[in-house]
A and B are shown apart, each in its own frame.
Chain A
Amino acid sequence: MRPAVCAKWAGCAAAVALVATGCGGGTAGPGGSAVVSASWGDPQNPLEPANTNEVQGGKVLEMLLRGLKRYDPETGAAKNVLAEKIETTDAQHYTVTLKRGWSFSDGEKVTAKSFVDAWNYGALLDNKQKNAPFFQYIDGFDKVHPDNGKPTAKTLSGLKVKDDHTFDVTLNQKFSSWPDTLGYSAFMPLPQAFFRDHAGWLKRPVGNGPYLVDSYTKGSVLKMRKWKRYPGPDPAQNGGIDLRVYTDSETAYTDLQAGNLDLVDDIPASQLKNVRSDLGDRYLNQPAGIIQTLTFPMYDAHWGKPGMERVRRGLSMAIDREQITKEIFQHTRTPATDWTSPVLGEKGGFKEGLCGDACVFDPAKARQLIKDGGGLPGGRMTITYNADTGSHKDWVDAVCNSINKTLGNDKACVGNPVGTFADFRNQISARQLTGPFRAGWQMDYPLIQNFLQPLYYTNASSNDGKFSNPDFDKLVNQANAAPDTRQAVAKFQDAERILAREMPSIPLWYQNGSGGYSDRISNVRLNPFSVPVYNEITVG
Chain B
Amino acid sequence: MPEPHVPQEAIGHGDGGTAALAIGEAESLARAPGAGPPPPGGEPTGKPRSLWSDAWHDLRRNPVFVVSALVIVFLVVIAIWPQLIATGNPYRADLSKAQQGAAPGHPFGYDTQGRDVYTRVVYGARASITVGTCATAGVALLGSLLGGLAGFFGGWSDTLLSRLADVFFGIPVLLGGLVFLSVVTSTTVWPVVGFIVLLGWPQIARIARGSVVTAKQNDYVQAARALGAGNGRMLLRHIAPNAVAPVIVVATIALGTYIALEATLSYLGAGLKPPTVSWGIDISAASTHIRNAPHMLLWPAGALSITVLAFIMLGDAVRDALDPKLR
Contact = CB atoms under 8 A, between A and B. Distances in A.
Answer yes or no: A and B touching, Cβ < 8 Å: yes
B113 interface: yes
A419 B178 contact: yes
A248 to B, nearest CB: 10
A401 B269 contact: no
A386 B98 CA distance: 23
Contacts of A320: 95
A405 B269 CA distance: 25
Contacts of B292: 270, 273-274
Interface stretch (A200-208, A216-224, A299-307, A387-395): A387-395
A419 B181 contact: yes
A418 B269 contact: yes
B91 A387 contact: no
Contacts of A415: 274
B164 interface: no
Interface stretch (B16-24, B197-205, B242-250, B283-291): B283-291
Interface stretch (A126-134, A180-188, A191-199, A323-331): A323-331
A416 B273 contact: yes
A479 to B, nearest CB: 39
Measured as residues with beta carbon below 8 angstroms from the partner, the interface class of chain B is 20 to 34
A397 interface: yes
Given A394-B112, A398-B95, A401-B93, A419 B288 contact: no
Interface centre among A270, A324, A386, A405 (most CB of B within 10 A): A270
Interface centre among B112, B113, B274 (most CB of A within 10 A): B274
A423 B182 contact: yes
A394 B98 CA distance: 11
Interface in B268-288: 268-270, 273-275, 285, 288
Interface string A399-429: 0011011000011001111111001000000
B288 A268 contact: yes
A417 B289 contact: no
Contact of A274 (B181, B275, B285, B291): B291
Given A397-B113, A402-B95, A405-B93, A419 B268 contact: yes
A402 B99 CA distance: 17
A410 B92 CA distance: 7
Contact of B95 (A273, A401, A410, A419): A401
B288 A270 contact: yes
B89 interface: yes
A386 to B, nearest CB: 7
B178 A420 contact: yes
Interface string B81-117: 0000000010111011011000000000000111000
A405 B89 CA distance: 12
Nearest to B92: A410
Given A410-B91, A415-B274, A323 B96 contact: yes
A405 B95 CA distance: 11
B95 A387 contact: no
B96 A404 contact: no
Interface string B176-214: 001001100001000000000000000000000000000
A269 B291 CA distance: 13
Given A273-B292, A327-B96, A404-B91, A393 B285 contact: yes
Given A323-B95, A323-B96, A420 B291 contact: no
Interface string A301-335: 00000000000000000001001100110000000
A396 to B, nearest CB: 9
A536 interface: no
Contacts of B96: 323, 327
B134 to A, nearest CB: 22
Contact of B269 (A388, A411, A414): A388
B98 A388 contact: no
A250 interface: yes
B275 A417 contact: no
Contacts of B93: 398, 401, 404-405
A387 B96 CA distance: 25
A415 to B, nearest CB: 5
A270 B182 contact: no
Contact of A419 (B99, B112, B270): B270
Given A397-B274, A398-B95, A419-B269, A328 B112 contact: yes
Contact of A414 (B92, B113, B275, B291): B275
Nearest to A432: B185
Nearest to A411: B275
A206 to B, nearest CB: 38
B112 A387 contact: no
Nearest to A272: B292
A76 to B, nearest CB: 33
B55 to A, nearest CB: 41
A388 B266 CA distance: 11
B273 A417 contact: yes
B300 to A, nearest CB: 16
Nearest to B287: A270
Contacts of B275: 410-411, 414
Nearest to A416: B273
A199 to B, nearest CB: 30
Contacts of B112: 328, 394, 397
Interface string A375-395: 000000000001110010110
Interface of B: 89, 91-93, 95-96, 98-99, 112-114, 178, 181-182, 187, 268-270, 273-275, 285, 288-289, 291-292
9 contacts: A327-B96, A387-B270, A393-B269, A393-B285, A398-B93, A398-B95, A414-B274, A418-B269, A419-B270
Given A270-B292, A327-B96, A405-B93, 10 more contacts: A268-B288, A273-B292, A274-B291, A327-B95, A401-B114, A410-B91, A414-B273, A419-B182, A419-B268, A419-B269
The 5 closest A-B pairs by CB, nearest first: A387-B269, A270-B288, A410-B91, A401-B93, A417-B269
